[in-house]
């Protein structure tokens, strides 16, 4: 794995083994697509990170400092994915919050995952995951470090032809994919699930909602999803991915995904050319 | 924080910033009370750790190796609390399991938390937490690293006179305390909540259940708990703690807690003498 990294602003590859990020998953992260020295969705990432810090009562990092560090770790890379991790820092053994938390900040740049041009053109194949997301309103929406549900969901399949899995909650409501948000066009209307009880409110999802004011947050059953005229995924790392099949049920890439892929190009992303 | 530590068997204080334990809370831990070179509940801890590794598909560490490392980090300490952390190790960015996982193993020894003798004699004061535990059967029972719910629960109060909080699930069922399991004597019967949907199946709880074959795993409402004749907590670190009050409702330390404190003494624990 090749990554350039800063830990609390210093070139380093390690964190304390007593960090609460490791001990309890007590922190947050962001995965941010960079095009050279431009991050088109930066302000949305910073907004979510700040909200997450407030929710977990972790002092929020300074976005200007993070941006300087982002430029430093990604220097010379034409394209990169930045991972910013913020934890509550060191703590005594035990769950109680430290009296004077000193958050840990890790900024790392990675080579973006390759996505073939035909994936953007034809779409991804998906399956429905067996695991059901637990409902925890106090943690829903934010991108915290407690991600075992996503790890278990992604471990459900090995077939490289399947790119993603649909996650339902314990009531059978569609929530998202394992690493992307999900949109469906139903009776001509663009819908995406509510993330008030579980799931991560993606930055790309926020961009789609801003670009499509007619889109609506709504409850989606699996049956509705299977009957949808068009389904696509939004990801801050991969952009807009049409869905071509779900457990054998086929979809054609639709006009909404094409329109949003164009919006992504207009933002400066070049992913549709083959990543 | 004073701790002696081994990371993968080597004296070290740090782990890779790319460890999946930090990235996703992708791992497990055990908190083990040591009396010199004796750990009375060691085999129960190893059993739970092994079960947790199987559940998360992480190769389990060798208990004999962990024991050698436990003795090394705790050398010269009359009493200590061992924290063993096992993660899935390094991974590519992304949730998918690495093809050949190399787990990370952290073994650290800490000074035990002080518990006054009068706490064992008179009991602890508790409150009912506002947060409700989410129900995830695939993660229930094991001591994984996704502990934000416990962190948020413990952050609900600052009053040092309150030692612990009662956690309910989203259906209002009593599950546990934030860092201990909970028992109640109801109509003369010893009851403890089921942990099939959420909560951690404590090693001390398993010891209580083995020592009291008449005890029963049962659904407990908050009303039942408030009406109980006796309530106590079990913790591998703190032992058996009577509960003297819950949000102002008082209990007297009962015969069951006394009997189990004696059982703990017979195991070799000396905590009742003042930790």
Q: Which residues of B touch A139 (CB under 8 A)?
A: 134, 148-149, 152
Q: Does domain A3-110 have CATH number 3.30.470.10?
A: yes
CA–chain centroid gap for A9, Å, is 24
pLDDT digits (tens, 9 = 90+) for A51-69: 999 999 999 999 999 999 9
pLDDT at B2: 65
Is 0.90 exceeded by the ipTM? Answer: yes
Q: Position of tokens 């005890």? A: B215
Please state which CATH number belongs to domain A117-273: 3.20.10.10
pLDDT at A33: 97
pLDDT at B71 over 90: yes
Are B179 and A95 in contact, with CB atoms under 8 Å apart? yes
pLDDT digits (tens, 9 = 90+) for A67-96: 999 999 999 999 999 999 999 999 876 899
pLDDT digits (tens, 9 = 90+) for B218-243: 999 999 999 999 999 999 999 999 99
Average pLDDT of the residues in A183-212: 98
Are A188 and A168 in contact, with CB atoms under 8 Å apart? no
Q: Give which of A3, A101, A134 to mutate to test B binding, by max B Cβ within 10 Å.
A: A134
pLDDT at A271: 57
Sketch the domain layout of chain B as residue ranges: 3-110, 117-273
More confident position, A1 or B84: B84
Average pLDDT of the residues in B39-57: 98
Q: Position of tokens 């067996």? A: A130
When pLDDT is cut at 50, 70 and 90, the band that residue A1 belongs to is low
Average pLDDT of the residues in A23-35: 97
Q: Closest by alpha carbon to B191, among B252, B248, B232?
A: B232
Helix axes A255-267, A203-211, angle to 10 degrees: 110
Query: Who among B25, B96, B133 is closest to A148 (CB)?
Result: B25
- Cβ distance A134 to B136 less than 8 Å, yes or no, reads yes
Work out the mean pLDDT of chain B and round it to a whole number.
95
When pLDDT is cut at 50, 70 and 90, the band that residue B271 belongs to is low
3-class secondary structure, B227: helix
Are B157 and B163 in contact, with CB atoms under 8 Å apart? no
Q: Which residues of B touch A110 (CB under 8 A)?
A: 93
For residue A156, what is the nearest residue in chain B, using CA coordinates?
A: B96
- The strand pair at B162-169 and B174-177 is best described as antiparallel
When pLDDT is cut at 50, 70 and 90, the band that residue B3 belongs to is confident
């Amino acid at each position: 794995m090749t990554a350039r990294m800063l830990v609390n602003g210093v070139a380093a590859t390690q964190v304390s083994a007593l960090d609460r990020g490791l001990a309890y998953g007590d922190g947050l992260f962001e995965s941010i697509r960079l095009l050279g020295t431009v991050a088109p969705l930066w302000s949305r990432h910073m907004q979510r990170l700040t909200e997450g810090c407030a929710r977990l009562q972790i002092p929020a990092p300074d976005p200007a400092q993070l941006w300087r560090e982002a430029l430093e770790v990604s220097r010379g890379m034409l394209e990169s994915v930045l991972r910013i991790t913020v934890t509550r820092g060191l703590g005594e053994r035990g769950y109680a919050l430290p009296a004077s938390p000193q958050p840990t900040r890790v900024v790392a740049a990675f080579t973006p995952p390759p996505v073939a041009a035909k994936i953007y053109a034809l779409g991804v194949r998906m399956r429905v995951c067996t695991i059901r997301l637990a409902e925890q309103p106090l943690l829903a929406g934010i991108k915290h470090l407690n991600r075992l549900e996503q790890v278990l969901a992604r471990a459900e399949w090995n077939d490289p032809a399947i790119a993603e899995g649909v996650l339902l909650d314990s009531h059978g409501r569609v929530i998202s994919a394992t690493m992307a948000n999900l949109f469906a066009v139903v009776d001509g209307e663009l819908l995406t699930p509510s993330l008030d009880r579980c799931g991560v409110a993606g930055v790309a999802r926020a961009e789609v909602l801003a670009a499509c004011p007619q889109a609506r947050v709504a409850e989606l059953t699996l049956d509705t999803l299977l009957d949808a005229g068009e389904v696509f995924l939004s990801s801050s790392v991969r952009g807009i991915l049409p869905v071509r099949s779900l457990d054998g049920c086929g979809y054609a890439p639709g006009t909404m995904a094409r329109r949003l892929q164009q919006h992504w190009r207009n933002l400066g992303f070049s992913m549709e050319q083959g990543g």
